[in-house]
């Protein structure tokens, strides 16, 4: 149970929401320790204040000058060391906001007291989100993640050190296996965009570097130390590959290539996602785009079957994206005729039309191979369908930025529309997207940002939960960050930590964000008025080829011949 | 040619140097108990720092009183004092003993009342104490002796646990005089030596002492010596850093010599610096630290003053 560690200080102001504790001889308090203090009211009631330590300090008492430390250590000047800890109050029961009385006993909260201090007792469906530094599980209220009362997670942190995507996958693992989702877990999906590196391509393979201590941590969290069970890995079809081979790096097996057919591109009106770069919908360019999209859809509707990959425009059968671009922008051999775009665009200024055509041609270079009108094979085998597995990893790290945006925009739009059509929050879909600043930058607007904003503002009721990550929250659309119920911070640049996006961190929290180790995050959630520091266990799934057990095995086999020979 | 030199103590305190080399010795003094020659003794320092205690006290007048009726009045005061000890063993200095006493001292042989006042949840009780003489200054002397008695008692108790107990001030109140207790007099007040012998004081180097001399006067006989704790600054009197120590005359001469040698070589280590202490270098660090601590234990003077007034108001009502 809770154990005595010190007393409320009277030399510093004790307040209902923060106070100082004098640490008793032979005891210690460290950052993030959870404490409880009981304070009597004159009417005999007992107020219990719970809090988290966010500052600790030690100093010599009886010393006045800096140089006294040398005299004291020499054994000449008598002085004693006094330790004190600053506590941020998380909860007051019953809610009578009086300061704790100086001199009151302070105890390190354990068991029921700790649950109460961190509101875990009030969470009906609690999701393990990591371990506190003393090794106890830390929970989040699922109500704020599955859309019941809130949704979305936003993770900030420096690339490489902050382990943002690893934490995102840990959250998914916890969602799928903690049992907090109940029967819905099996029908819950995740769409994970692998935007850089290959960390997320081995989610389905056990991590060969997983140690016994990490397994024990999973145990403590009540989670299995196992890789993701139902995973499909999708990669864009390789450029110029008639066989529709997936374009991936070190992972070859079990990867499915995906692309869109020209007909889908036209029917689903995906052209706008080629024009992601902060083009305002109300601009002239947006107008031309709308017209061309509408006209194309209209033209295509009259011919072919829905399953035909190709389309016919102006009597010409188009089988590649380049051909579509050509049809739209052709001005005749002499260049003296009106292009189709120009015709369709009506009153748009010729400069705007030219800009549209230029951008379309530029996009064709990077995105064209993702939109096919022939060599589509069994269409079902290459459709980007997130329902086929519980977790869908979409690998776009090899794509040009423009193509990345296209895939993200097209995928999310389609999924959003499907969910909108269903009209229920089932099945729940979690979307993991790193580098949010590229897709929903703070400045400007664009079709992809619109989709992400839609998800962040309406996704809650549609059962779409965005787990977004970025280096710096200050570069991401404010509404997306603000809508996230769970705000997570890994290692932060200190200048970045001073920005108002991180206002939930205390001054000490900001300083700590600058020294967080990989595997440690600061999590802020709606019910707990103070951010909590959590450690999450080493991933039980491989995050690179060398970690995947299968990979390691085959490598050993390769070298076996050399050793024996 | 006379030179202008400073007394080392800050002006808020009584001067450190109050002897005049022209004065006649105040008591019968034998300067040849240790050796014939009156010259500096430089003991070699002990191999290890012995277990030592520094015993000291502080006092404060909270309120002056008058106990009066229609015909006469007696002077009195309400005062607090603290007594404690710092233990030093070469590795660390630790305050090991501390106690606070509160007294209602009334002069003229009248036992005053115990005065009780309350601050928060705690009660301050000023115990009655009598001093025979009825003068305005008598009560403060009563408070002072109460403190000195407690200091001497503590020193006596500690003397069985230590190699050396340094008691702040002369040994006036020490009852037994059998333990290794040394009185430490930081002000040069009463002249015990004649002019030629006093000259040696100025020439003492740090770590040196004068030979022992035996003082026999109205009080119990005691051995005494002067030693230099530190060299004063050039602008300070040449007597800066010179203190007088004394040990009970009932101790064997050899034992006293051991104590004197230990003090002469060890105490300079604890001499304070003028940046730290207004009575540097005479007020030793372990004593200065103890005084700070004890003063804090006496409590906030303003708060106590008000509490006393409040309790007298209640009584008068």
This model of the complex carries an ipTM of: 0.78
Q: How far apart are CA B58 and CA B288, in angstroms?
A: 10
Q: How far apart are CA A143 and CA A121, in angstroms?
A: 14
Categorize the per-residue pLDDT at A565 as very low, low, confident or very high, splitting at 50, 70 and 90.
Answer: very low
Spatial strand order of the sheet with A137-141 comes to: A137-141, A126-131, A532-535, A520-524, A486-489, A153-156, A464-470, A429-433, A189-194, A391-395, A231-236, A255-258
pLDDT for A561: 39
Q: Check whether the bond before B190 is cis (ω within 30° of 0).
A: no
B89, B91, B93 member nearest A77 (Cβ): B93
Whose tokens are 């890789």? That residue is A227
Kindly identify which residue of chain B lies nearest to residue A73, measuring between CA atoms: B92
pLDDT for B75: 93
**Which residues does B65 contact at the CB level (< 8 Å), separation at least 6?**
B75, B76, B77, B78, B104, B106, B112, B139
Torsional class of A182: left (φ above 0), alpha (ψ -120 to 50), beta (otherwise)? left
Residue A11 touches chain B, beta carbons under 8 Å = no
> What residues in A contact B270, CB-CB < 8 Å?
76
Token pair for B294 = 């004890």
B49, B276, B286 member nearest A78 (Cβ): B286
Q: Identify the CA nearest to A310 among candidates A298, A324, A329.
A: A324
Interface of A with B in 528-557 (CB under 8 A): none
Kindly identify which residue of chain A lies nearest to residue B95, measuring between CA atoms: A78
Q: Check whether the bond before A94 is cis (ω within 30° of 0).
A: yes
Token pair for A519 = 């595997």
Asked if residue A550 has pLDDT above 80, the reply is no
Categorize the per-residue pLDDT at A562 as very low, low, confident or very high, splitting at 50, 70 and 90.
Answer: very low
Residue A565 touches chain B, beta carbons under 8 Å = no
Residue A561 touches chain B, beta carbons under 8 Å = no
Q: Do residue B93 and residue A72 have CB atoms under 8 angstroms apart?
A: yes
Q: Identify the CA nearest to A215 among candidates A542, A520, A544, A540.
A: A540
> What residues in B contact A68, CB-CB < 8 Å?
276
pLDDT for B23: 67
Question: Mutation test of the interface with chain A: which of B50, B275, B276, choosing the one with the most A Cβ atoms within 10 A?
Answer: B276
Q: Identify the CA nearest to A394 among candidates A168, A192, A165.
A: A192
List the alpha helices (DSSP H) in A27-163: 68-73, 112-117
User: How far away is chain B from the Cα of A76, in angstroms, using its nearest Cα?
Assistant: 6
A153-156/A311-313 β-pairing: unpaired
Asked if residue A352 has pLDDT above 90, the reply is no
Q: Do residue A62 and residue B292 have CB atoms under 8 angstroms apart?
A: yes
Q: Do residue B289 and residue A75 have CB atoms under 8 angstroms apart?
A: no
Token pair for A287 = 């107008």
Kindly identify which residue of chain B lies nearest to residue A78, measuring between CA atoms: B93
- DSSP H/E element including A35: strand A34-40
B93, B95, B290 member nearest A75 (Cβ): B93
Over the range B99-116, which residues count as b (16 or more CB within 10 Å of their CB) and which as e? Answer: eebbbbbbbbeeebeebe
Q: Do residue A78 and residue B269 have CB atoms under 8 angstroms apart?
A: no
On whether the CB atoms of residues A22 and A522 are closer than 8 A, the answer is no
> What residues in A contact B289, CB-CB < 8 Å?
62, 77-79
On whether the CB atoms of residues A162 and A475 are closer than 8 A, the answer is no
Q: How far apart are CA A406 and CA A397, in angstroms?
A: 13
Whose tokens are 């006093």? That residue is B198
Question: How does DSSP classify residue A199?
Answer: G
pLDDT for A555: 41
Residue A506's Cβ-count burial label (10 Å; 0-12, 13-18, 19+) is middle
Residue B255's Cβ-count burial label (10 Å; 0-12, 13-18, 19+) is middle
**Which residues does A231 contact at the CB level (< 8 Å), separation at least 6?**
A203, A204, A389, A390, A391, A392, A393
Q: Do residue A76 and residue B276 have CB atoms under 8 angstroms apart?
A: no
A99-115: pLDDT as tens digits: 999 999 999 998 899 99
Q: How far apart are CA B154 and CA A558, in angstroms?
A: 84
Residue B313's Cβ-count burial label (10 Å; 0-12, 13-18, 19+) is exposed
Q: Do residue A77 and residue B95 have CB atoms under 8 angstroms apart?
A: no
User: How far away is chain B from the Cα of A22, in angstroms, using its nearest Cα?
Assistant: 18
> What residues in B contact A78, CB-CB < 8 Å?
86, 93-95, 285-286, 289-290, 293
Q: Do residue A75 and residue B95 have CB atoms under 8 angstroms apart?
A: no
Token pair for A504 = 């939930």
User: How far away is chain A from the Cα of B93, in angstroms, using its nearest Cα?
Assistant: 5
A65, A75, A80 member nearest B91 (Cβ): A75
Backbone angles phi, psi at B135, to 5 degrees: -130, 160
Q: Do residue B92 and residue A65 have CB atoms under 8 angstroms apart?
A: no
Does the global pTM surpass 0.90? no
Whose tokens are 């193509």? That residue is A403
For the ranges A28-37, A366-375, A543-552, the one whose mean pLDDT is highest = A28-37
Cβ-Cβ pairs closer than 8 A, A with B, add up to: 40
User: How far away is chain B from the Cα of A66, in angstroms, using its nearest Cα?
Assistant: 11
> What residues in B contact A64, CB-CB < 8 Å?
276
Q: Do residue A75 and residue B92 have CB atoms under 8 angstroms apart?
A: yes
pLDDT by 10s per residue, chain B, length 317: 788 999 999 999 999 998 876 667 777 889 999 999 999 999 998 888 899 999 999 999 999 999 888 888 899 999 999 999 999 988 889 999 999 999 999 998 878 788 999 888 889 999 999 999 999 999 999 999 999 999 999 999 999 999 999 999 999 888 877 899 999 999 998 888 888 888 899 999 999 999 999 999 888 899 999 999 999 988 999 999 999 999 999 999 999 999 999 999 999 999 998 888 999 999 999 999 999 999 999 999 999 999 999 999 988 87
Token pair for A128 = 């393990």
Residue A42 touches chain B, beta carbons under 8 Å = no
Categorize the per-residue pLDDT at A62 as very low, low, confident or very high, splitting at 50, 70 and 90.
Answer: confident
Residue A82 touches chain B, beta carbons under 8 Å = no
Q: Identify the CA nearest to A452 among candidates A486, A415, A487.
A: A415
For chain A, the average pLDDT equals 87
Calculate ∠ Cα B272-B274-B278, nearest 5°: 95
> What residues in A contact B95, CB-CB < 8 Å?
78, 80
Q: Residue B221 half-sphere exposure, CB side, CA atoms within 13 Å?
A: 13
Q: Within a 10 A sphere around the Cβ of A508, how many other Cβ atoms?
A: 15
Q: Do residue B93 and residue A68 have CB atoms under 8 angstroms apart?
A: no
User: How far away is chain B from the Cα of A62, in angstroms, using its nearest Cα?
Assistant: 7
């Amino acid at each position: 149970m809770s154990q005595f560690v010190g007393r409320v200080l009277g030399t510093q102001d004790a307040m209902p929401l923060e106070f100082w504790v004098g640490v008793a001889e032979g005891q210690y308090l460290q950052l993030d320790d959870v404490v409880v203090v009981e304070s009597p009211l004159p009417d005999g009631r007992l107020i219990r204040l719970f809090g988290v330590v966010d500052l600790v300090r030690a100093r010599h008492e009886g010393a006045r000058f800096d140089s006294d430390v040398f005299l004291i250590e020499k054994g000449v000047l008598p002085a004693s060391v006094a330790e004190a800890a600053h506590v941020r109050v998380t909860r007051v029961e019953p809610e009578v906001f009086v300061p704790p009385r100086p001199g009151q006993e302070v105890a390190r909260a354990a068991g029921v007291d700790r649950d109460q201090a961190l509101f875990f007792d009030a969470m009906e469906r609690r999701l393990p989100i990591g371990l506190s530094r003393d090794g106890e599980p830390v929970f989040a209220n699922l109500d704020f993640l599955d859309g019941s009362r809130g949704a979305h997670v936003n993770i900030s942190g420096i690339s490489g050190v902050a382990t943002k995507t690893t934490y995102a996958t840990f959250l998914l693992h916890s969602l799928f296996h903690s049992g907090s989702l109940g029967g819905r877990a099996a029908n819950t999906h995740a769409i994970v965009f692998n935007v850089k590196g290959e960390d997320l391509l081995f989610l389905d393979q056990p991590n060969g570097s997983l140690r016994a201590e990490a397994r024990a941590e999973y145990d403590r969290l009540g989670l299995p130390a196992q890789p993701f069970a139902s995973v499909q890995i999708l990669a864009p079809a390789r450029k110029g590959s008639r066989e529709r081979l997936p374009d991936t790096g070190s992972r070859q097996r079990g990867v499915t290539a995906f692309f869109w057919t020209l007909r889908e591109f036209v029917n689903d009106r995906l052209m706008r996602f080629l024009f992601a770069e902060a083009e305002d919908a109300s601009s002239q360019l947006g107008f031309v785009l709308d017209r061309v999209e509408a006209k194309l859809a209209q033209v295509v509707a009259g011919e072919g079957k829905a399953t035909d990959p190709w389309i016919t425009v102006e009597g010409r059968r188009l089988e590649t994206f380049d051909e579509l671009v050509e049809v739209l922008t052709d001005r005749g051999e002499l260049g003296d005729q009106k292009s189709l775009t120009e015709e369709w665009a009506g009153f748009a200024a010729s400069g705007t039309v030219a800009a549209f055509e230029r951008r379309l041609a530029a996009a064709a270079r990077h995105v064209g191979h993702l939109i096919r009108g022939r060599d589509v094979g069994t269409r079902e085998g290459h459709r980007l369908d997130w329902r086929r597995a519980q977790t869908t990893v979409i690998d776009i790290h090899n794509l040009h930025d423009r193509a990345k945006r296209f895939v993200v925009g097209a995928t999310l739009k389609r999924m959003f529309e499907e969910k909108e059509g269903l009209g229920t929050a089932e099945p729940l879909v979690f979307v993991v997207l790193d580098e949010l600043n590229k897709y929903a930058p703070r400045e400007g607007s664009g079709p992809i940002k619109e989709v992400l904003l839609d998800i962040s503002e309406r996704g809650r009721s549609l059962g779409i939960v965005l787990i977004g990550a970025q280096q710096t929250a200050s570069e991401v659309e404010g509404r997306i960050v603000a809508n996230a119920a769970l705000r997570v911070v890994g290692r932060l640049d200190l200048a970045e930590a001073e920005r108002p996006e991180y206002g939930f961190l205390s001054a000490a929290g900001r300083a700590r964000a600058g020294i967080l180790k990989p595997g440690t995050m600061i999590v802020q959630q709606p019910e707990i008025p103070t951010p909590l520091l959590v450690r999450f266990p080493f991933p039980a799934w491989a995050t690179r080829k060398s970690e995947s057990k299968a990979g390691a095995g085959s490598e050993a086999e390769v070298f076996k011949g050399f050793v024996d020979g | 040619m006379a030179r202008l030199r400073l007394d080392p103590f800050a002006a808020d305190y009584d001067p450190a140097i109050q002897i005049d080399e022209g004065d006649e010795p105040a008591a019968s003094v034998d300067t040849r108990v240790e050796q014939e020659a009156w010259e500096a003794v430089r003991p070699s320092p002990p191999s290890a720092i012995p277990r030592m205690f520094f015993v000291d006290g502080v006092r404060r007048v909270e309120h002056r009183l008058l106990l009066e009726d229609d015909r006469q009045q007696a002077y009195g005061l309400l005062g607090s004092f603290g007594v404690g000890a710092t233990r030093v063993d070469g590795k660390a200095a630790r305050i090991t003993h501390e106690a606070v006493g509160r007294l209602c001292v009334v002069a003229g042989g009248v036992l005053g009342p115990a005065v009780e006042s309350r601050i928060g949840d705690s009660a301050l009780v000023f115990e009655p104490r009598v001093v025979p003489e009825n003068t305005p200054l008598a009560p403060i002397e009563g408070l002072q002796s109460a403190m000195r008695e407690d200091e001497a008692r503590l020193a006596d108790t500690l003397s069985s646990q230590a190699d050396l107990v340094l008691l702040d001030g002369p040994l006036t109140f020490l009852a037994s005089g059998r333990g290794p207790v040394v009185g430490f007099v930081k002000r040069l007040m009463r002249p015990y030596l004649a002019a030629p012998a006093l000259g040696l004081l100025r020439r003492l180097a740090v770590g040196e002492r004068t030979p022992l001399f035996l003082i026999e006067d109205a009080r119990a006989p005691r051995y005494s010596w002067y030693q230099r704790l530190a060299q004063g600054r050039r602008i300070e009197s040449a007597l800066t850093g010179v203190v007088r120590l004394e040990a009970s005359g009932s101790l064997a001469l050899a034992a006293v010599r051991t104590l004197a040698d230990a003090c002469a070589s060890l105490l300079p280590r604890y001499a304070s610096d003028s940046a730290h202490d207004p009575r540097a270098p005479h007020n030793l660090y372990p004593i200065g630290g103890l005084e700070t601590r004890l003063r804090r234990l006496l409590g906030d003077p303003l708060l106590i003053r008000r509490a006393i007034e409040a309790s007298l108001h209640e009584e008068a009502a």
